[in-house]
DNA sequence: ATGAAAGCGCTAACAG
DNA sequence: CTGTTAGCGCTTTCAT
């Protein structure tokens, strides 16, 4: 920068001003500086800039695992949203471990990044005090509500309700929820989505039959979807409409139903949530809810950037819009 | 740090020495410093450290897309490998675009990270000069060989050969390669894997029948796999063994074969490459090659760290070991 | 075995 | 509109 200043015949601070788009500057001066920059191939050293300015241009993203397609696709959107704003994303994969989640919070004190977007899945209420602090923070999902920071949320209840309403409108008589949880006071995605399912049934004056709500045993994989269908059918439960907790589960559900020669959507309609890339490519393609990942990404990044300027934002809820993407497994019905 | 020094009754540089594990230091001094650090809750400011030391503790990872499961899972391993060495990973998703790939190279001049691990898929030979420079660099994959930097590679030819040999040993008479490319001088993964397939057939004294090598039209999705099978069967080509270019393609291949009531592995054995997480969960589970993602990750990160110390390494090839993971779609055969 | 001093390269008041 | 000045918080010789 010294060299640029010398070559341009100006002071070092004019160069700095130029780089910062300082408005009051003679065009001729600008031009000289630009020429010197080009001649020397100068690029600013981000390390020095960040020490002095207090900003790194980086945001930490702490998510459970990139191996889970939903998180990978969300990360992709967050990277894109950050880049549009001139920011970079440092990814920390926490593997559903409380220790790693806490580690990524602790790392904020080291000021290697300007803020943290995190999906706290393993942290406990007792860890909430550690999330206090001045650093910009955004939480993804409905856990840990008492943290003094904004939460970016998905309309889980409404999504469950909308999908169920769609199946009702399509004429389904017996609607199952695979991967749901009926009784619980923990506000997990499963519970909330199931709540929406129940609301829709009740609004339609239908009974909620517990044998139609099948809870996942382990992780939400397609194998789990296969098993859920096997067990349900073995018990003689035969729905003509199925809401799946997630696309991964739905992939297994669809596969197993076809295996059993059930026609989709003719015999059974299948709908799901996540709208993974792969949902377009299955046979049949899968009707699924786009949870607004792009919007989630933008809300989260924008909130961080705002907090960088104005300090930690208070607790609050930012909701993303969802959309049912109708595909072959359950086409839209004309209203 | 000032405060810590004052409280411990030592100089600021002793604190720095302590933090750097300087060996010649009285235990009592160390203890005082540690007490002061604990009392004040001091943590080093990484920004200042990196300005002075020239190291950021971050590595850039430039890959096409996290939406592609293979890259997402590779990224996961690289993040883990970096973390084990105290490093963080900044992910840049280039979306197969040459401009974004070049941007992530250009960003290195800004010194926001210590090195770059990149998968150059869209860059051209004419861009090679831009990859010259002093910054630590590791290339993933077989493209752009004339770059003066180490390449981390997968034994593509051998993998294609080993899978084909396995099918031959299993008694398959008619072996197809779905997603292969027979004629080409570009050393892409498709071409190399197909070359291995050809080698195995020739070694077994079998003819290479061009109608058995089906080239993908668009991206390697499961939908493409479905279409490949449809077209092949429509042409009357009916293999009893299938090597798929990747797991994603294989998912579609398996789905379509079952759709056509072909039994796997009884009528047709199916093998593939990538060993995605999902390969264990399909029906039947998929025999697939683990390309040694973990080793790829460690080789790449270690090379970067070595280059951080010793400067850009010369061109060279680092190979990861592969392993066939036998599953239901083609169980191992007793030799 | 410890301390003093000199910056790393840049930004941000503030003065002119 | 441009230049001077004073550091950001740490590491790193080099003395002692």
Pairing verdict, β A323-325 and A287-290: antiparallel
Q: How many A/B residue pairs have CB atoms within 8 Å?
A: 129
CB atoms within 10 A of CB B28: 8
pLDDT 10s digits, A39-67: 999 999 999 999 998 899 999 999 999 99
For residue B327, is it within any domain?
no
B133 and B88 share one domain: yes
A49: Cβ under 7 Å from strand C?
yes
pLDDT of residue B175: 98
Q: What is the mean pLDDT of chain A?
A: 94
Question: Which CATH number fits the domain that encloses residue A273?
Answer: 3.40.50.2300
Over residues B215-236, the mean pLDDT reads 94
**Claim to verify: residue A200 and residue A261 sit in the same structural domain:** yes
Q: Is residue A335 part of a domain?
A: no
> Nearest-CA neighbor of B181 among B169, B167, B196, B191?
B191
Most confident listed range (A15-24, A49-58, A197-206): A197-206
What is the predicted pLDDT for the residue at A237?
96
A133 with A84, same domain: the answer is yes
Mark whether B281 and B165 lie in a shared domain: yes
Same domain for B163 and B144?
A: no
pLDDT band at A335 (very low <50, low <70, confident <90, very high): low
CB contact under 8 A, A112 and B44: no
Per-residue pLDDT tens over the stretch B170-189:
999 999 999 999 988 788 89
pLDDT-based confidence at A23, cuts 50/70/90?
A: confident
Contact (Cβ atoms closer than 8 angstroms) between residue A316 and residue A151: yes
Confidence of residue A327 (pLDDT cuts 50, 70, 90): very high
Q: Is the peptide bond before A284 cis (omega within 30 degrees of 0)?
A: yes
Give the best residue of A92, A281, A293, A328 to mutate against chain B (max B CB count within 10 A).
A281
Place B335 in a pLDDT band, splitting at 50, 70 and 90.
Answer: low
A201 and A275 in a common domain: yes
Write out the E strands in B179-301.
Answer: 213-214, 241-244, 269-273, 287-290
Q: Assess if residue A327 is contained within a domain.
A: no
Interface residues for strand D (CB within 7 Å) are A 9-14, 17, 22, 24-26, 28-29, 51-52; B 1-2, 12-13, 16-17, 19-20, 44-45, 48-49, 51-53
pLDDT at B230 over 80: yes
The band of B1, judged by pLDDT with boundaries at 50, 70 and 90, is: confident
Q: Taking each helix axis as running N to C, give the angle between helix B69-84 and helix A69-84, from 0 to 180 degrees, rounded to the nearest 10.
A: 80
Tokens for B323? 């392993």
Residue A334 lies in a domain: no
**Average model confidence (pLDDT) for chain B?**
94
What is the extent of the structural domain holding B261?
Answer: 156-291
Residues B160 and B284 in one domain: yes
Q: Is the domain of B167 the same as that of B286? A: yes
Do A9 and A117 have their domain in common?
no
Reported as a pLDDT band with limits 50, 70 and 90, residue B142 is confident
Do B214 and B177 touch, CB atoms closer than 8 A?
Answer: yes
Residue at A331 is within a domain: no
Do B214 and B317 share a domain, yes or no? no
Helix (H, G, I), strand (E, B) or coil at B176: strand
The model's pTM is 0.94
Residue B133 pLDDT > 70? yes
CA distances from residue A252 to A212, A220, B285 in whole angstroms, order as listed = 17, 10, 12
Report if residue B331 sits inside a domain: no
* Backbone phi, psi, residue A93, to 5°: -100, 120
Same domain, A131 and A233: no
Check CB contact under 8 Å for B47 and A44. Answer: no
| Main-chain dihedrals φ then ψ at residue A236, nearest 5 degrees | 80, 10
At residue A183, the pLDDT reads 85
Number of domains in chain B: 3
Q: Compute CA A249 distance to the chain's CA centroid, rounded to the nearest angstrom.
A: 18
Confidence of residue A120 (pLDDT cuts 50, 70, 90): very high
Question: Could you give the C-alpha distances from B277 to A67, B74, B248, B290, in angstroms and in order?
Answer: 7, 11, 11, 10
**CATH number of A26's domain:** 1.10.260.40
B202 and B237 share one domain:
yes
The answer to whether residue B333 sits within a structural domain is no
Tokens 């790392």 -> residue: A107
In a domain, A66, yes or no: yes
DSSP summary character for residue A211: G
Question: Which residues fall within 8 angstroms of residue B92, CB to CB, at 6 or more apart?
Answer: A79, A83, A88, B60, B61, B62, B63, B100, B103, B104, B107
Q: Quick check: A34 contacting B, CB < 8 Å? A: no
Confidence of residue B50 (pLDDT cuts 50, 70, 90): very high
């Amino acid at each position: 920068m010294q060299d640029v200043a010398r070559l341009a015949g100006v002071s070092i601070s004019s160069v700095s001003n130029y780089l910062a788009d300082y408005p009051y500057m003679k065009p001729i001066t600008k031009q000289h500086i630009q020429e010197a920059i080009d001649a020397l191939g100068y690029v600013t050293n981000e390390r020095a800039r960040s020490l002095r300015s207090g900003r790194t241009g980086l945001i930490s993203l702490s998510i459970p695992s990139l191996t889970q397609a939903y998180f990978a696709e969300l990360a992709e959107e967050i990277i894109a949203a950050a880049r549009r704003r001139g920011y970079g994303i440092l990814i920390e994969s926490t593997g559903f471990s409380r220790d790693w989640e806490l580690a990524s919070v602790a790392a904020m004190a080291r000021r290697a990044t300007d803020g943290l977007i995190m999906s706290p899945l393993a942290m406990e209420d007792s860890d909430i005090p550690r999330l206090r602090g001045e650093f910009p923070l955004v939480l993804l999902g409905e856990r840990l509500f008492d943290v003094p920071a904004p939460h970016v949320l998905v309309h889980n209840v409404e999504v469950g309700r909308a999908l169920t309403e769609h199946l009702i409108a399509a004429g389904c008589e017996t609607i199952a929820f695979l991967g749901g949880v009926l009784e619980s006071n923990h506000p997990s995605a499963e519970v909330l989505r199931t709540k929406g399912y129940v609301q829709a049934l009740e609004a339609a004056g239908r009974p909620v039959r517990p044998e139609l709500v099948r809870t996942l045993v382990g992780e939400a994989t397609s194998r789990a979807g296969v098993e859920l269908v096997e067990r349900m059918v073995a018990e003689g439960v035969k729905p003509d409409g199925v809401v799946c907790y997630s696309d991964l589960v739905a992939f297994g559900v669809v596969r197993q139903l076809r295996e059993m020669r059930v026609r989709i959507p003719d015999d059974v309609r299948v709908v799901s949530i996540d709208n993974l890339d792969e949902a377009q490519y299955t046979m049949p393609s899968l009707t699924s809810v786009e949870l607004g990942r792009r919007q989630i990404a933008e809300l989260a990044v924008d909130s961080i950037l705002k907090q960088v300027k104005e300090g930690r934002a208070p607790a609050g809820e930012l909701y993303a819009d969802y959309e049912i993407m109708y595909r072959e497994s359950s086409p839209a019905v004309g209203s």
